[in-house]
Amino acid sequence: MRVHVVEDDAGVSDSLSLILANLGHDVISYPDAESLFRSPPPDGSDTVIVDLTLPGIPGAQVVRWLLKMAAVPRVVVITGQSQSAIDHQLRGLAPAGVVRKPLTVEALARALPAS
Amino acid sequence: MRDFSSSPGLPECATVSEARLLSVLDTAADGIIVIDERARILIFNKACEQMFGIASVEAVGQNVKIVMPIEYAYDHDKYVGSYISTGVKKIIGIGREVRGRHADGTVFPLELSVGEAATPDGRQFIGILRDLRPRKESEQRLADLQSELVHLARVSAIDEMGAAIAHELNQPLTALMLYLQAIRRAHSRGMDINAMVGDILDKAAAEAERAGHIIQRMRQFVEKREPVRSVRDIDPMVDEAVELTLLGQRHRIRVEREFAGDLPPVAVDPVQIQQIVVNLVRNAIEAAAPTGDPAIRVRTRLRDGNVVIEVHDNGPGIAAPALPKLFEAFASSKRRGMGLGLAISRTIAQNHGGDLLVDPGGNGKGACFSLVLPVAPPPVPSEVG
């Protein structure tokens, strides 16, 4: 399965790619929302992992955009923010999963579809 | 029972009014010593007995040097002699701070004022003494309290940053965890990972180090310590403080840094100065955050012979009614914190011989705070040879 990772932190992004590849996925990484939007859009069978805190266009905006696509990909939010901050930003949005940092491979695997 | 009737040098306490005078002297809270032209003690009141631990009967008749530290005592006779021969007043009619010596050897600060009286028996000098130790102690307490408060404000600033810091630590911890789990998984599946394991471990170690650095920076900032002045360049100090503030900052904000680069050094306590900068930058970010395109500018420059650090924001400016109370403790309109930030910051600036000034802005202009610090005096040339 193809997994898109939108994460600005280089360390998190790199380690996430490694573990996802390890789990058998094809990984495409983006340092921000803008570069995701410039690339070919994900399709309905893809998963997009979005960090809430992004430079420029915020993560919640990316989630909103993805959930409005004709073929909605699986959207998984990752974040280190407090629950109230998460709730505030995701008002009215229902991503498939929210995984809080620090991430573990188990929590990630649960949020991804069984492959 | 002690009385002065047997005192040598003092005429017999013949009249009732003289007895009354002596009892008044004994009830005085200040120490009172009367000496003659040869510095011999004529009167040594009760407060003096307490102050110096010497009984009046023992003191009277002796040279007043017995209540002075050795180094004063040595010159005192010369002073008295010089005054009597030249008439030049060095202490008479002028209060000054001197040091006294208790019988147990303790030397302590005293405020001494001396008056002079001509009597049929010759000139007499009346000294009124006040022990300055209680005042010194309260000054010390005040200084301690102030340093405690400065520390408290710093802790409170960190407390407010706590959530943001947790977020910042989450990044390296996440990366670290995933790197290790990647190796663990590969290992348990018997995959050949030899080629890449070294590389991954290096990256994992770098992430752990990154987490360590974040904690180190916080610790340096928050730990309680005595204020220490050192001569430093302001630019790197300000840069570090800006970095510290941006650490885990949730608002996305443009930060422009405009450092002069060639400023003369300042003599400051770096941690305290950074505390001010952190405070100003945090306030600026809060003020700018609600605008569509939040931006702040931190600038250093030389103005009228002082080093000035300016923190601008592009927020709405400070409303006129809030201005008079801006630097008062506990007057903050903010929901969080104690409103100590600006009050403490200005105190620190003034303790450094500088000041904290504000241009409130408004009408489409953001606020600008200026931290003014005097340039450090040129270093004393080191000894030749």
Enter the ipTM: 0.85
Domain contains B9:
no
pLDDT, residue B250, reads 65
Shared domain check, B115 and B161: no
Q: Residue B138 contacts by C-beta under 8 Å, 6 or more apart in sequence?
A: none
pLDDT for B237: 92
What pLDDT score does B381 carry?
A: 60
Interface test with A, best of B168, B171, B177 (most A CBs within 10 A): B171
B12 pLDDT exceeds 60? no
* Stretch B45-51: mean pLDDT: 92
B151 pLDDT exceeds 60? yes
Kindly state the tokens that stand for B148: 């405690």
User: Cβ separation of A15 and B252 shorter than 8 Å?
Assistant: no
**Structure tokens that stand for B322 in this block:** 């809030």
Paired with A69 in beta bridges are none
> Which of the four pLDDT bands, split at 50, 70 and 90, describes residue B7?
very low
What does the pLDDT look like over A68-108, one tens digit per residue? Answer: 999 999 999 999 887 888 999 999 999 999 999 888 888 99
Which of A42, A58, A51 has its CA nearest to residue A3?
Answer: A42
Contacts of B203 in chain A (CB under 8 A): 11, 14-15
Q: Which residue ranges form the domains of chain A, and what is each CATH number?
A: 2-111 (3.40.50.2300)
DSSP one-letter string for B1-46:
---STT-TTS----SHHHHHHHHHHHH-SSEEEEEETT-BEEEE-H
DSSP symbol at A23: T
The pLDDT tens digits for B197-206 are 899 999 999 9
Domain end, chosen from B197, B226, B255, is at B226
Residue B140 — very low, low, confident or very high, per pLDDT cuts 50/70/90? confident
Locate tokens 């450090």: which residue? B376
CA angle (B174 as vertex; B169, B180 as ends), nearest 5: 130
Closest-CA distance, A70 to chain B, in angstroms, reads 30
| Pairwise CB contact (< 8 Å): A11 & B185 | no
Instruction: Looking at the structure, tell me whether residues B231 and B283 fall in a common domain.
Output: yes
From CA B292, how far away is CA B54, in angstroms rounded?
77
Full domain range(s) for residue B37: 16-131
Tell me the pLDDT of chain B averaged across its residues.
82
List the CATH number of the domain containing B51: 3.30.450.20
CA B309/CA A36 separation, integer angstroms:
39
**Confidence band (pLDDT; 50, 70, 90) for B302?**
very high
pLDDT category at B337 given cuts 50, 70, 90 is very low
Q: What angle do CA B332, B336, B340 make, to 5 degrees?
A: 45
For residue B304, what are the β-bridge partners?
Answer: none
The whole-number average pLDDT for the span A59-76 is 95
Convert the pLDDT of each residue in B244-297 to its tens digit: 888 766 667 889 999 998 999 999 988 889 888 988 998 898 888 888 889 999
**Tens digits of residue pLDDT in B15-37:** 777 777 777 888 888 899 999 98
Q: Which of A53, A82, A101 sits opposite B174 (nearest CB)?
A: A101
Pick the last residue of a domain from B69, B97, B131: B131
Output DSSP code: residue B376.
Answer: P
- Per-residue model confidence as pLDDT tens digits over B72-124: 777 887 777 778 778 777 777 667 888 999 999 899 999 898 888 888 888 88
CATH number at residue B171: 1.10.287
Pairing of strands B230-232, B254-258: unpaired
Residue B20 Cα to chain centre, angstroms: 48
Higher per-residue confidence, B249 vs B212: B212
By the 8 A CB rule, do B123 and B116 touch? yes
Residue B188 and residue B174 share a domain = yes
DSSP-assigned beta bridge partners for residue B34: B43, B126
What is the per-residue burial (b if ≥16 Cβ within 10 Å, else e) of B101-132? Answer: beeeeeeeebebbbeeeeeeeeebbbbbbbbb
Do B202 and B287 fall within a single domain?
no
Looking at residue B251, its pLDDT comes to 66
Domain boundary among B113, B131, B149: B131
Same domain, B116 and B33: yes
Amino acid in the structure at residue B294: P
Cis peptide bond upstream of A102, omega within 30? yes
* Closest alpha carbon to B99 in B144, B125, B136, B58: B136
Q: How confident is the model at residue B178 (pLDDT cuts 50, 70, 90)?
A: very high
Comparing CA positions, the residue from A63, A54, A56 lying closest to residue A81 is: A54
Helices (H), B122-251: 133-188, 194-222, 234-246
Among B129, B105, B114, B121, which residue's Cα sits nearest to residue B45? B129
User: Is residue B338 very low, low, confident or very high in pLDDT (cuts 50, 70, 90)?
Assistant: very low
Rounded CA separation B342/B276 (Å):
8
Residue B221 sits at φ, ψ, to 5 deg, of: -75, -35
Q: Is pLDDT of B185 > 90?
A: no
So what's the pLDDT on residue B2?
Answer: 46
Q: Dig out the tokens for B174 from the structure.
A: 């996440």
Judge whether residue B307 has pLDDT over 60. yes
pLDDT at residue A34, rounded to an integer: 94
In this structure, the answer to whether residues B260 and B353 fall within a common structural domain is yes
C-alpha dist (Å) from residue A12 to A6, B89, B169, B173, B313: 10, 79, 11, 9, 31
Task: Clarify whether residues B184 and B321 are in a common domain.
Answer: no
Find which of B178, B184, B253 to mutate to test the A interface (most A CBs within 10 Å of its CB): B178
Q: How many distinct structural domains can be found in chain B? A: 3
The percent of residues above 90 in pLDDT, for chain B, comes to 31
**Domain for residue B273, yes or no?**
yes
pLDDT at B1 over 50: no
Q: Which residues of B touch A103 (CB under 8 A)?
A: 174, 177-178
Distance from CA of B198 to the nearest CA of A (A): 14
- Shortest distance between the Cα of A58 and any Cα of chain B, in A, equals 9
